[in-house]
Structure 1
Amino acid sequence: MLRRRDDATKERIQFSGRTNDEEDDETMWRWNEDSLLGVGMTEKMMRRCDDATMQRWKEYSLLGVEAMWNMVLDFWTVEKRFHMPLQICLLNVTKYYAVSQQSNSQDIKQLQISEKKPSSSIPGGSLEKKIVPIKRPDNGGTLAFRNTRLFANHFPVKFNPQSIIMHYDVDIKPNMPPGSRAAKRPISKSDLRLITDKLFSDDPTRFPELISTYDGEKNIFSAVPLPTGTFYVELSGGEDTAPRSYRFTIELVNELKVSKLNDYLRGMLSYVPREIFQGMDLVMKDNPSRHMNSVGRSFFSKEFRPNDDLGYGVAAFRGFQQSLKATAQGLALCLDSSVLALRKRLPVLDFLMEQGFQLNDVRTSRREVMREVMHVLKGLKVHVTHRLTNQKYTIAGFSDQNTRDITFTLEDREGENPPREIGLVEYFREKYNKELSYQDMPCVDLGKGNRKNYVPMEFCVLVDGQRYPKEHLDRDRALFLKQISLPRPRERKDTIYGMVRSEDGPCGKTFQCANMQNIDYPFWEGNRPDYCGHPGFQRA
């Protein structure tokens, strides 16, 4: 059995002066699921209505069973106080429903879709096949308006609609036997970038770097055809590390005609050419990604202003985020400023001192101090300075012993000398000619998995561009970060202009004129947007 009684029904029952004990079947609306008919009425209710009423009820209920049923509940619950029969109640409901349906149909007929075609804002746009939105009901906003001049952070992008972008798929694997562990180990994004740059720099004739761009994962977009197949690249791991070999497989996926993008901007194409957008967006981000720190979708400078130092080894770094947008005026580059708290590029020991630690406390290796040091440093990426390498390491932990007490078994790779036990201090003296200044401190563990790789902290430097959680900032520093993140309009405009024209920005690529090298803003040439230089300094 189902019982239906909402709060409004309860209020009506109380208003009529009846109690819950006096509620009968007509007030409580009880019915069995098996006896439900298509119009939402029970057999008992149907027997109380004549044939004409039931016929009208069925006709209108087909338009909306739930709406009709709710109206019956409302009408009859209220009107039972005045002893209105169910038959009259149903007639009132059907009349009300018929009037509302007729009113709605008249309102719909009054809505007229404008067939007037707006003027084209894109040169060469044809209005015969152009897809346009419905006209605004207020006559395009001309009933009441006021002209306001606004600066938008959108910069027009010019492109050749006849050009073709070559899209390639890239697969990079270690050159190892398929069953080995090294073959299954994933390659970091930084190594993928190094491998691709090495291939392009080794063979610049077939792999021109200036007219090709790599997304750091699986895609390469180029303005010219590139050779396909499998190539072998050797990447040096450093002074005392054997070179690593990789298989670089490149295959052509598609030839993207930029004319489709032009058709879409003119309204001649009903779908978005996403691959072309992806390729052109990657081209616009190529220069910033090479010279700036990439955090998420934003790019940040590697240097910070002196006044933006937040202390504790953290600073507010300024940058920007950009994306390509399709507008009524054509393709536009949307660029906005951004500010983020990042850790500074510091030696690990200097970073600890800015965090408030005393080196004497670290020397004593007290458990409570090392627990706090572990909380601050674990998971951060570092470079090592005792040998030449670009490899990044992640701090996994610390050694249980101080540096002077750590020993390990040294094996000769060439097999000429037998294995021998050696101390870490002596090893750095023999191998790298380095004398350790802090021998009574623990070492950081830069190993992976169960493999330990102990390195003295004095040879570790934090990698720049590592985000610092803003919730860890105190109130004053968090407020300062918020203030510089919301500059005044004029300051924000100047900042955006400066970022567009900077050496690291979208217009940062320099050009050559006669014997002059590396020419940039305020000078510009014909194949660059005019906002990349001063109007009076265009190269003839």
Structure 2
Amino acid sequence: MSQRGGGGGGGGGGGRRGRGRGRGRGGGDYNYPREPPTGAEAPYAQRGGGRGGGRGRGGDGEGAGPQPPPHGAYQARRPHAAADAPSSSSSSSAAAAEALGEEVRRLAIREEAPGAPAAAAAKQEEAAAAVPVARPPASSRAVKYTPRPGFGTVGTRCVVRANHFLVQVADADLCHYDVAISPESKSIAINRAIISELVRLHRPSLLGGRIPAYDGKKSLYTAGALPFDVKDFAIKLAGEREKEYKVTIRFAGRADLHHLQQFLDGQQRDMPQETIQVLDVVLRETPSTKYVTALRSFFSPTFGQRSDIGEGLECWRGYYQSVRPTQMGLSLNIDICATSFYRAIPIVDFVGENLKLSYNARPLSDRDVVKIKKALRGIRVEATHRRDKCIRYRISGVTSVPMNQLMFPVDEQGTMISVVQYFREQYRYSLKYIHWPCLQAGNDKRPIYLPMEVCKIVEGQRYAKKLNERQVANILRATCQRPQQREQSILEMAAFNDYKNDKYAKEFGMTIADQLVSVDARVLPPPTLKYHESGRERSCNPAVGQWNMINKKMVNGGTIQSWTCLNLSRVPPVMCIDFAQVNPRPSVEIQFANPNRLEAALADVQKKSMGRLQLLIVILPETRVIKRVCETELESCRNAACQGMLSGGITSSISKIQVGGRNTVLEDALRSRLPYITDRPTIIFGADVTHPPPGEDSSASIAAVVASMDWPEVTKYRGLVSAQEHRQETIQDLYSLHQVPDRELLIAFHKATNRKPDRIIFYRDGVSEGQFGEVLLREVDAIRKVVLSCLDGTCVLDIC
């Protein structure tokens, strides 16, 4: 039996009242994205299974209970004497971890002693606000997790299989070396080729027979010391003319397996990330040289049938791989994934599919040229007009004039000739698409013009931009699997990789099990949802996380006084008018506009409503742009309806429109049975930062913060959205002089409930492990300042 879930990471820290968190990748259904995915594997490559272990309550007791006994799946002896002392990074990490514990413990804000001067609090707030943004907050410390107090007991016990393979590591002296390549190359593929050639030439002699593992950037690892501390090598790659690389390898330190063993045994609380990284690099070495790499995933056309997803793109199968510490010991997490690649087709066909041309020879409009330029920029093509050799180019742009008008000099005297004439005289090639522009490679000083009809897209190039809805549907349809099928695919992938015979795994003494691990799990009972008493069904118990609104009435329906409809699609006007007739008459006349005038149309609606618009329904083929403009600029849009939703999917969308009402409430909340909620006034925050897709180098990131506005039901939420610096993960306006969303939400909670919160529960999504410490320290520090400023330190407050 293969169920969703899994035994991922070894449960995190329990907080007050015995709560704990555990995170790990499970082996089940797809983990779908919150936004339309991009071609980049990270946002959408279906890694499946969600996160096993999940978040859940631990034991029922107060405080820190006993540490759960480890499962000895990892046997590693203490390394050699040379590695006995922890590395500097490990020492500093341990010291930082100890320091953060003090900060976390002091985050509980207590009531001031009677008679304490109010000026002291004001001074404290002023001093805290004066901390420069560029520096870590004054209260910053490193992370120290509280031991998990125990295991939960609620629910039906079962056993699931997780997509983890246990790893055993023999005693080894793991050495870390810094690598410097000159001239520096930004290409990981070139860096790997250079180091591969270095190993081929010097492994038997200068490298002492070692087989190093290289991360493609600045780090190289060996199982045992090299015969030198620092050494320079001169490497010349085959095919490179008159270009030689200087490679400097310098000893940097040792990764201590003893610390990893202590962490897995529960004797050490700071995770030795450097040691885990070494082992991860070792197991990634072989696939990195054989497959197309995307972050932690590998893709190849040999992994399964490729699927056409439209507009010149296709879906490739692959797998995700990562070494993870778990409660059972060290494990290798493997999951099946998929992402989009450019099809290896002629450029003419690619243009035809993108522009949906019925015949390819017609001239391209200025709008067509802009679209094709955006689609082709940065991809590699190969010229097909020369039979004697194949030359590859990287496209930098598209010419502004068609090739029959494009002239360039052919000699030092400046003799000008058209591209059409040059190909006819030089290659005896008669071009057909003379009204189309040329592709441009090279640079502006020495441009290279390539007719589209003689170019073909090079295979194996990942599409790293945002997919449209149709492409998303196609890729999901092509890759969707049941849990049992996914389990079999994972086992087949592990067998195909043949870790037992991997030369790098053997070199570093790593052994990988060939079966998935089994994990104890619990199926939690679903919460009972309460609806309005006048409906046929007054309560609902969701089955498998799903339910519908048939025979149910919302608990508190919202009231709309001012609304209108804006049609930017090809939906007939009569449909919009009919839609308006089944509702109260719109306060602003229904408008029809061209999608190219989106912002102007929205501004016109805002002006006519005089800023009193509560609901704006926009009908258009694509919703992403309209929501961005309304939420970040006009602040008037509650929902956007896509044209395809009018036929059947709009019911679900309507139920999500926020107009101040409540769809349902938890029955346990009405009966005062919600743990950590009903005993004290509690506000629940949620925050996330959405980043622009790969390839967007300047677009702003969007930060969103929501908070509950009712207690103890916690079903009404208010949200605030703001733009911030490109790809900045820390929420910049959480506490600032210009906008303080947390402060606004806390004040709104006070007005709505007539109570000041005694407890804050803050859910933060989308932070990677590498950024977690910094984001935690900065944002918790900002929350503390907000609480001090708006609650005046007059209440006992827990920050969870």
Answer yes or no: same fold by TM over 0.5.
yes
Question: TM-score under structure 1 normalisation?
Answer: 0.58
Q: List per-residue Cα deviations over 1:137-165 (Å, max 9, x = no partner).
A: xxx546x66441211111101111x2012
Question: TM-score under structure 2 normalisation?
Answer: 0.41
C-alpha distance in 1, partners of 2:318/2:383?
27
Secondary structure, aligned partner of 2:162: coil
Q: Which residue of 1 aligns with 2:782?
A: none
C-alpha distance in 2, partners of 1:434/1:251?
55
Alignment partner of 1:121 is 2:122:
no
Q: Which residue of 1 aligns with 2:173?
A: 164
> What is the Cα deviation at residue 493 of structure 1?
0.7
Which among 486, 496, 500 is matched to residue 492 of structure 1? 486
Q: Which residue of 2 aligns with 1:338?
A: 337
- 1:510/1:329 Cα in 2 relative to 1: closer, same or farther (>3 Å)? closer
C-alpha distance in 2, partners of 1:352/1:289?
32
> What is the Cα deviation at residue 318 of structure 1?
1.9
Alignment partner of 1:232 is 2:224:
no
Q: Which residue of 2 aligns with 1:284?
A: 283
Which among 461, 468, 472 is matched to residue 468 of structure 2? 472
Q: List per-residue Cα deviations over 1:88-123 (Å, max 9, x = no partner).
A: xxxxxxxxxxxxxxxxxxxxxx95754x66544227
Q: List per-residue Cα deviations over 1:322-372 (Å, max 9, x = no partner).
A: 222112221001122222233223332332233355596457566554344
Which among 425, 445, 463 is matched to residue 440 of structure 2? 445
C-alpha distance in 2, partners of 1:265/1:470?
40
- 1:132/1:363 Cα in 2 relative to 1: closer, same or farther (>3 Å)? closer
- 1:112/1:215 Cα in 2 relative to 1: closer, same or farther (>3 Å)? closer
Q: Partner amino acid for 1:349?
A: V
Q: Alignment length, in residue pairs?
A: 376
C-alpha distance in 1, partners of 2:428/2:264?
62
C-alpha distance in 2, partners of 1:436/1:298?
44
Q: Which residue of 2 aligns with 1:133?
A: 147
Q: Does the aligned pair in 2 maintain the 1:237–1:243 contact within 8 Å?
A: no
C-alpha distance in 2, partners of 1:191/1:307?
27
Q: Partner amino acid for 1:220?
A: L
Q: Partner amino acid for 1:334?
A: N
Gaps of 5+ in 2: 1-60, 78-144, 504-508, 517-800
Q: Percent identity?
A: 24
Secondary structure, aligned partner of 2:169: coil
- 1:196/1:399 Cα in 2 relative to 1: closer, same or farther (>3 Å)? farther
Q: Does the aligned pair in 2 maintain the 1:383–1:460 contact within 8 Å?
A: yes
Q: Partner amino acid for 1:323?
A: S
Greater relative contact order structure (CA < 8 Å, 6+ sep)? 2
> What is the Cα deviation at residue 422 of structure 1?
7.8
Larger Rg: 1
Aligned pairs (5 A) from 1:210-289:
211-226=211-226, 228-235=230-237, 242-289=241-288
Q: Partner amino acid for 1:491?
A: Q
Aligned pairs (5 A) from 1:100-499:
111=62, 114=65, 118-122=68-72, 133=147, 135-136=149-150, 140-141=151-152, 146-160=156-170, 162-174=171-183, 187-205=186-204, 206=206, 211-226=211-226, 228-235=230-237, 242-302=241-301, 305-306=304-305, 308-356=307-355, 361=360, 364=363, 367=366, 369-384=368-383, 393-398=394-399, 400-402=401-403, 406-409=407-410, 435=429, 440=434, 442-457=437-452, 458-467=454-463, 469-474=465-470, 477-499=471-493
Q: Partner amino acid for 2:164?
A: H
Q: Partner amino acid for 2:512?
A: P
Q: Does the aligned pair in 2 maintain the 1:321–1:338 contact within 8 Å?
A: yes
C-alpha distance in 2, partners of 1:294/1:201?
22
Q: Does the aligned pair in 1 maintain the 2:423–2:431 contact within 8 Å?
A: no
- 1:210/1:112 Cα in 2 relative to 1: closer, same or farther (>3 Å)? closer
- 1:304/1:149 Cα in 2 relative to 1: closer, same or farther (>3 Å)? closer
Q: Is 218-227 or 491-500 further displaced after alignment?
A: 218-227
Secondary structure, aligned partner of 1:276: helix
Q: Is 436-445 or 458-467 further displaced after alignment?
A: 436-445
Q: List per-residue Cα deviations over 1:408-447 (Å, max 9, x = no partner).
A: 3457xxxxxx99878768988999x785755735431111
Q: Does the aligned pair in 1 maintain the 2:342–2:461 contact within 8 Å?
A: yes
Secondary structure, aligned partner of 2:320: strand
- 1:195/1:500 Cα in 2 relative to 1: closer, same or farther (>3 Å)? same
> What is the Cα deviation at residue 279 of structure 1?
0.9
Secondary structure, aligned partner of 2:71: coil
- The alignment yields a C-alpha RMSD, in angstroms, of 4.2
- 1:468/1:483 Cα in 2 relative to 1: closer, same or farther (>3 Å)? same
Q: Does the aligned pair in 2 maintain the 1:288–1:299 contact within 8 Å?
A: yes
- 1:192/1:186 Cα in 2 relative to 1: closer, same or farther (>3 Å)? closer
- 1:313/1:508 Cα in 2 relative to 1: closer, same or farther (>3 Å)? farther
Bigger helix fraction? 1
Q: List per-residue Cα deviations over 1:9-59 (Å, max 9, x = no partner).
A: xxxxxxxxxxxxxxxxxxxxxxxxxxxxxxxxxxxxxxxxxxxxxxxxxxx
Gaps of 5+ in 1: 1-109, 175-184, 412-417, 512-525, 534-540
Q: Which residue of 2 aligns with 1:529?
A: 512
C-alpha distance in 2, partners of 1:455/1:236?
27
C-alpha distance in 1, partners of 2:429/2:202?
41
C-alpha distance in 2, partners of 1:133/1:111?
12
Secondary structure, aligned partner of 2:487: helix
Secondary structure, aligned partner of 1:158: strand
C-alpha distance in 2, partners of 1:434/1:509?
54
Q: Does the aligned pair in 2 maintain the 1:341–1:469 contact within 8 Å?
A: no
Secondary structure, aligned partner of 1:148: strand
Q: Is 437-446 or 492-501 further displaced after alignment?
A: 437-446
C-alpha distance in 1, partners of 2:404/2:239?
25
Secondary structure, aligned partner of 1:453: strand
- 1:233/1:122 Cα in 2 relative to 1: closer, same or farther (>3 Å)? same
Q: Does the aligned pair in 1 maintain the 2:500–2:512 contact within 8 Å?
A: no
Q: Does the aligned pair in 1 maintain the 2:168–2:512 contact within 8 Å?
A: yes
Q: Is 486-495 or 463-472 further displaced after alignment?
A: 463-472
Q: Partner amino acid for 1:499?
A: M
